Amino acid sequence: MISYFYNYYELLNKLIMKITVVGAGNVGATSADVLAYREIANEVVVVDIKEGLAEGKGLDIWQKAPVDLYDTRTVGVTNDYTKTAGSEVVIITSGLPRKPGMSRDDLIETNAGIVKSVTENVIKHSPEAIIIVVSNPLDVMTYQAHLVSKMPRTKVMGMAGILDTARYRAFLAEALNVSPKDIQDMIMGGHGDNMVPLPRYTTVAGIPVTDMIDKDTLDAIVERTKKGGGELVKLMGTSAWYAPGSAAAQMAEAIVRDQRRVFPVCVKLEGEFGIDNCYLGTPVILGKNGIEEIIELKLNDDEMALLKTSEGHVREVMAVLDRLNG
């Protein structure tokens, strides 16, 4: 009888899905909220270094459960990673924004130290977890998490492409006056001004977008997408959080529910597109094992040239981290 109950509770424990969000700021809290109200996990643990912040955000989200009718428990903790043990997925949003007078290298050094500490704690308590990095600069922070974790590239990835494609789709939907649900697209490369939107792979309900919009308008939307993050900073004085937080939650959902969704994510390339040892956004299939497959699109010469330019910019930032790591 004792053995029966032990096996029952052991099985029950395996069935309880836990996702951890590190960082209780705007992006992290949004991710936790989406994970909760969409019931993507049984438990969502929010971790932050600021005393009481994660506890307050977790409690607030849990108190919303009777209103929005969900059962996911949200728990906040201050720098206590023991509560994260056994997480299936960990979303890392921690890091500081770039402040006036702060150089790029200063920002990389500061946030690389934060991501290093977070990753070490995550792996200590959840060695099988799949890691989604949201911290900026995104591509190099994904690199740092991968180096520190020593995990396969399929289990450490960055969230940028889903956010970038969402902005692109939103702008197109507005210009065409259609539902964003009907727009499919793909964006590759680094996260920022050197991303590589691919209009050739953009459709509206299966119709090539180039059949529905003129070139000048489309080019303007592409440029607006590249500067999408900066546009929001100018408007609000701070970085975006609703779209990035929701995008990270969508990636986690694809993994824990084994949906095999096709998304652009930041991953270490090992020969794909003729690029080796560089972290770039590329389309992948996301499932229960993390990145199940990297999809190597057949890019034309112009698209490949843009991707190579993006690679060059990302390698410059990776070199900064290499110098810092010694």
Residue 223, token pair as written in the block? 């440029």
pTM, two decimal places: 0.94
Residue 144, token pair as written in the block? 């740092």
Weakest mean pLDDT among 13-27, 169-183, 297-311: 13-27
C-alpha span between 203 and 187 (Å, rounded): 13
Every domain of the chain and the residues it spans: 2-158, 161-325
Judge whether 164 and 310 are in contact, CB under 8 Å. no
Average pLDDT over residues 98-125: 90
Output the pLDDT for position 244.
Answer: 97
- Alpha-carbon torsion 143, 149, 150, 154, what sign? negative
Angular region, 39: left φ>0, alpha ψ -120 to 50, beta rest: left
Output the pLDDT for position 3.
Answer: 54
b/e per residue 270-295 (b: at least 16 CB within 10 A): eebbebeebbbbbbbbbbeebbbebe
Average pLDDT over residues 9-31: 81
C-alpha span between 56 and 62 (Å, rounded): 10
Asked if the model's pLDDT at residue 5 lies above 60, the reply is no
Query: Which ranges in 126-206 belong to alpha helices (H)?
Result: 138-149, 161-176
Banded model confidence at residue 95, pLDDT cuts 50, 70, 90: very high
Instruction: Clarify whether 313 is annotated catalytic.
Output: no
Higher-pLDDT residue of 176 and 16 is: 176
Asked if the model's pLDDT at residue 171 lies above 80, the reply is yes
Nearest to 304 by CA among 282, 277, 279: 282
Does domain 161-325 fall into CATH 3.90.110.10? Answer: yes
Residue 142's SS3 state is helix
Which helix (H) or strand (E) is 285 found in, with range? Answer: strand 276-287
Helix (H) and strand (E) counts for the chain? 11, 14
Output the pLDDT for position 2.
Answer: 53
Q: How many residues does the chain have?
A: 326
Output the pLDDT for position 66.
Answer: 98
Q: Round the average pLDDT of the chain to a whole number and report it.
A: 94
Residue 301's SS3 state is helix
Asked if the model's pLDDT at residue 270 lies above 70, the reply is yes
Average pLDDT over residues 200-208: 97
Asked if the model's pLDDT at residue 210 lies above 90, the reply is yes
Asked if the model's pLDDT at residue 10 lies above 80, the reply is no
Asked if the model's pLDDT at residue 164 lies above 90, the reply is yes
Set 125, 146, 191, 313: catalytic member: 191
Q: Which residues contact 242 (CB under 8 A, 6 or more apart)?
A: 30
Output the pLDDT for position 103.
Answer: 78
Output the pLDDT for position 14.
Answer: 47
Output the pLDDT for position 36.
Answer: 98
Average pLDDT over residues 89-94: 98
C-alpha span between 147 and 142 (Å, rounded): 9
Percent of the chain with pLDDT over 70: 95
Nearest to 201 by CA among 210, 192, 193, 191: 210
Supply the angle between the helices 161-176 and 242-256 in degrees, to the nearest 10. Answer: 120
| Fold classification of 2-158 (topology level) | Rossmann fold (3.40.50)
Asked if the model's pLDDT at residue 6 lies above 90, the reply is no
Residue 133, token pair as written in the block? 């990095």
Banded model confidence at residue 7, pLDDT cuts 50, 70, 90: low
Output the pLDDT for position 15.
Answer: 57
Asked if the model's pLDDT at residue 11 lies above 80, the reply is no
C-alpha span between 297 and 302 (Å, rounded): 13
Output the pLDDT for position 102.
Answer: 72
Output the pLDDT for position 101.
Answer: 74
- The one-letter code for the residue type at 100 is P
Judge whether 149 and 126 are in contact, CB under 8 Å. no
Output the pLDDT for position 97.
Answer: 81
Banded model confidence at residue 12, pLDDT cuts 50, 70, 90: very low
pLDDT in tens, 21-73: 999 999 999 999 999 999 999 999 999 999 999 999 999 999 999 999 999 99
